[in-house]
Structure 1
Amino acid sequence: MFYREYPPHPALAAYVECVWAARAPGSAHTHRVLPDNCVDILWQDGGQPGYAVGMMSAAILVASERPVLTLAVRFKPGMAGLFLATPLHAITDQRADIDLLWGRSDADRLADALWTSNAPERARLALIERELMRRLRAQVPGADAPLVRQALVALDRSGGALRVEELAAQLHVSRQHLAAQFRQHVGLSPKLYARICRFRRATATLRTDTTSSLDWAQLAADCGYFDQSHLIHDFQEFSSSTPEQFHFSNRAAA
């Protein structure tokens, strides 16, 4: 499967992680997508409407039975709501057609521009960026929720190790207020977001480690887990596998 990421237009760098393109093979194919604390909008050839994929709390299996070209944008945590005009908890673990979020006229106009062109994929991704910049200019000041932005920075810097109670105290808000803001602007609770941060640290380590054995207790400690059992629990919940199975499958694929 072909997959390539591109840095976003500088005007979108504060909001967008990347724009990307992928091409699924012609044969029947299934791949597993793990929670990554991001929201994406995808457009695929073949006449299907574009759709947003909300924050994920578990892995999903994506199947395709024909060659599919996907053009997409991945938002930084907490930023997708600026472009989707919906509370992000409404699309957590779901997909929503973009014509329902943007209106059919805007959605159809972009889809026509994407799929009636023979331009290279990067030029077509630029059409998506242009639409995002247009929508960003229409935003009212203060729509980016500075409290949530500060909380995300703190959680990301800690790798998910910062406790929610401590985070709320640092921001001088109640835990309940912080959770409500996260639900609207991120789509997950702060605790679940932090757990996925720790899980992503662990999977990143396992993807780059080629040794046949690991000190699992040390890995758990390095990634901010209380102990090895919490590491195992999160792998089972977020990837439907144990850390050992995940490590073996990635070594086998390398």
Structure 2
Amino acid sequence: MKYFSIAPSEKLAGLVRCFWVLEMESFSGAPYIHRTMADGCIEMVFHYQGIFDELLNNEQQATSFSSGISGPSQQFKRFSIDQHFGIFGVYLYPFALAELFGIPALALTNEMIDTGTILGTAGKELEEKMMLARDNQHRIAIITQFLESRLTRRKIKYHAISETIRQIISTDGMSNVQRLADDSFLSMRQFQRNFKEHTGFSPKLFTRIARFQAALQKYPEKESLSLTDIAYDCGYYDQSHFIHDFKEFSGHHPGAYFSGKAEGTKWITV
């Protein structure tokens, strides 16, 4: 298993958090289970080798797309594959969907839609180029050129709510929502409406997911931190709230997740 991330170009840095690659070059034994967690951000995903099956709640499976866009999600999903694979991802701020493609994040909340369906002919052409690229450096060049070309013709320019969203993410969900609304010079109702259009979620839910994501980032420190330490470090008032949110957004009790043996955590240790 191999995982690494790459910083975007300077032009894209305001919209793209990073590019990432996950590969498994050899395979043996039981199928690999991958679990996606709740996330307020958006991902473009290209499966250039191998296709995962999504494991549904009714114990059935459905073949996932070869490439697509995963919108902001408050849910966890499970995927399975029994062969070697390679995935290239683009991790975007939620407002990037509107700025690059003219689509509000609200339209893709809890949705995963294939590239051709959402971006039409341009999406199908992009998928083909990414699949046929000789290596990941070439894929970075292809997606960078594609996204930078969208920047030059975007109709939606900088929106004040974008900085608010960025601040919530950078403070791991510990920003004061009322203060952010006041700073935006909008009524709370206007602020909440604009915020939901750009993120897919209410400010309260978005900050909960941001705190949860901050907790996930504590995984490398699991040997030195207790669950109580992680909960307080991430702004939870008590451990019960931490456990409730963690189970809702990941499907795992935090104790199981930070044990290092939970399903869907293998890629984090590479």
- 1:97-116 residue pairs with structure 2 within 5 A? 97-104=114-121, 106-116=122-132
Once the two structures are superposed, residues 9-34 of structure 1 have per-residue CA deviations (whole angstroms, 9 ceiling, x without a partner) of: 22211111112222245452111122
Counterpart of 1:124 in structure 2 is 139
Q: Is this contact kept in 2: 1:58–1:239, CA < 8 A?
A: yes
TM alignment of 1:19-98, pairs within 5 A: 19-24=19-24, 26=27, 28-45=31-48, 50-98=67-115
Aligned letter for 1:29? Answer: Y
Are the counterparts in 1 of residues 164 and 180 from structure 2 also a CA contact under 8 Å? Answer: yes
Shift of 1:138: 0.9
Give the equivalent residue in structure 2 for 1:248. Answer: 259
Amino acid corresponding to residue 126 of structure 2 in structure 1:
L
Contact 2:94 2:105 in 1 (8 A): no
User: 2:5 maps to what in 1?
Assistant: 5
Measure, in 2, the Cα distance between the counterparts of 1:205 and 1:226.
Answer: 17
Would you say how many aligned residue pairs link Structure 1 and Structure 2?
248
Residue 258 of structure 2 aligns to a residue whose secondary structure is helix
Equivalent residue number for residue 166 of structure 1: 179
> Residue 248 of structure 1 aligns to which amino acid in structure 2?
S
**Structure 1 pair 164/138, CA: closer, same or farther in 2 (3 Å)?**
same
Q: Name the aligned partner's letter for residue 182 of structure 1.
A: F
Offset of 1:150 from its aligned partner?
2.6
The CA distance in 2 between the partners of 1:121 and 1:158, in whole Å, is 31
* Structure 2 CA distance for partners of 1:226 and 1:110, relative to 1, 3 Å: same
Shift of 1:92: 1.2
Matched with 1:210 is 223
Give the gaps of 5 or more residues in structure 1.
none
Say yes or no: does 1:197 pair with 2:213. Answer: no
- Assess, with a 3 A threshold, how the Cα gap between structure 1 residues 208 and 131 changes in structure 2: closer, same or farther: same
Q: TM-score, normalised by structure 2?
A: 0.81
Which structure has the highest helix share of the two?
1
User: Which of the pair has the greater relative contact order for Cα pairs under 8 Å at 6+ separation?
Assistant: 2
Partner of 1:136: 151
Does the CA-based 8 Å contact 2:71-2:111 persist in structure 1?
Answer: yes
In structure 2, C-alpha distance between the alignment counterparts of 1:94 and 1:64, rounded to whole Å? 21
Please, which runs of 5 or more residues in structure 2 have no aligned partner?
52-64
| TM-score using structure 1 length | 0.86
Identity, % of aligned positions? 25
CA distance in 2, matches of 1:35, 1:21: 19
